[in-house]
């Protein structure tokens, strides 16, 4: 039930965010991870406090799974002064380093070399941190990702490269963009451990990432994990999704992690009322965080230049 609770917290947050985009309370570009909740829930469960996590602009779920409280996170999306970045970052640029979440990046694939830098710094500052960078399948065609993987492999750095392969590479099916859509094949050429797993199974993700982080902490070097998953919404809020069929979306809804977890818990004899209460509690928690954030003062435009220069 713990995984279901964690995934529902993310799902409820994302669905509330989607609704607030519709009312105009949240402005700007927003990318949701609805359907991909198992990855962050499984992976973040094995990270230590000093480890550094870097996500893409689809990073709300990773921030939540890393321990970022819901109210300041929602306040950030709403442009409130109480947000994790004072309302300056918004949906696509937020960070919460005090929780080990070192931020999103709106440049495709740009988080990978930054994560390599964090791991390299950890070698010299005594922290010996693990760095984990998350990106989508489309980022596998970015040179920065391959340069980062090659450097990490050559210098045996403790970096985990996590590819959330939701198959769509923004608006183009990954199978139409590459000659070999088994993305885990590529890092092996660099001398890295590389695996492809079911990204809708949080326990499998946890065990896989746990084994690889344990190896990295003892000098095993970097690793690549391809999480086979799906998003149930568009690339961005408002995306008409003309590149996917209704049949494909219906099939994805059968395989997404919350639907699967509910089926498994039901088969294990957990009462329907107990399962339903998990969703209810998550939605109530998100709603309370949202209402509190909506009552907070907006970001002060006079402070826009703060934190720009040391």
Question: What pLDDT sits at residue 79?
Answer: 96
CA distance 105 to 114: 10
Outline where DSSP puts E strands in the chain: 52-54, 131-136, 159-165, 193-198, 223-228
Evaluate if residue 306 carries a pLDDT over 90. no
Write down the pLDDT at residue 217.
95
- Looking at residue 304, its pLDDT comes to 79
d(CA 107, CA 300): 26
pLDDT score of 274 more than 80:
yes
- Quick one: pLDDT at residue 302? 84
Alpha-carbon distances, residue 118 vs 11, 135, 158, 224 (angstroms) = 29, 16, 10, 17
How far is Cα 296 from Cα 294, in angstroms, rounded to an integer? 5
Flag whether pLDDT at 52 surpasses 80: yes
Say what the pLDDT of residue 301 is: 85
CA 221 to chain centre: 22
**Is residue 307 over pLDDT 90?**
no
The reported pTM is 0.96
pLDDT(129) > 90: yes
Mean pLDDT of the region 166-189 = 93
Residue 159's DSSP bridge partners are 131
pLDDT digits 0-9 by tens, 215-257? 999 999 999 999 999 999 999 999 999 999 999 999 999 999 9
Q: Is the pLDDT of residue 303 over 90?
A: no
Give the Cα separation of 122 and 93 in Å (integer).
24
Rg (CA), the chain: 19
Percent of the chain with pLDDT over 90: 94
């Amino acid at each position: 039930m713990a995984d279901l609770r964690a995934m529902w917290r993310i799902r409820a947050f994302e669905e509330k965010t989607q609704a607030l985009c519709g009312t105009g309370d949240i402005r700007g570009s927003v990318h949701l991870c609805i359907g991909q909740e198992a990855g962050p829930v499984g992976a973040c469960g094995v990270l230590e406090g000093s480890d550094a996590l870097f996500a893409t602009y689809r990073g709300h779920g990773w921030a939540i799974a890393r321990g970022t409280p819901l109210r300041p996170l929602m306040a950030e999306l709403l442009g409130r002064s109480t947000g994790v970045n004072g309302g300056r970052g918004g949906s696509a640029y937020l960070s919460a380093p005090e929780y080990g979440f070192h931020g999103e990046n709106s440049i495709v694939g740009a988080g990978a070399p930054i994560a390599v830098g964090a791991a390299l710094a950890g070698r010299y500052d005594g922290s010996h941190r693990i760095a984990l960078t998350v990106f989508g399948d489309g980022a596998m065609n970015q040179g920065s990702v391959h340069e980062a993987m090659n450097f990490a492999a050559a210098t045996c750095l403790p970096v985990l490269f996590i590819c959330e392969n939701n198959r769509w590479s923004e608006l183009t099916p990954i199978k139409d963009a590459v000659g070999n859509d088994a993305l885990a094949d590529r890092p092996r050429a660099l001398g890295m451990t590389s695996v492809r797993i079911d990204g809708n199974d949080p326990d499998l993700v946890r065990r896989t990432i746990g084994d690889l982080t344990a190896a990295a902490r003892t000098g095993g070097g970097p690793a690549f994990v391809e999480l086979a998953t799906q998003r149930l919404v568009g690339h961005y809020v408002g995306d008409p999704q003309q590149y996917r069929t209704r049949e494909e979306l219906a099939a994805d809804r059968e395989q997404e992690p919350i639907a699967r977890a509910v089926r498994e818990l039901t088969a294990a004899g957990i009462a329907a009322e107990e399962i339903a209460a998990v969703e209810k509690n998550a939605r109530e928690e998100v709603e309370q965080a949202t209402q509190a954030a909506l009552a907070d003062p907006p970001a002060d435009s006079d402070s826009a230049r703060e934190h720009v220069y040391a």
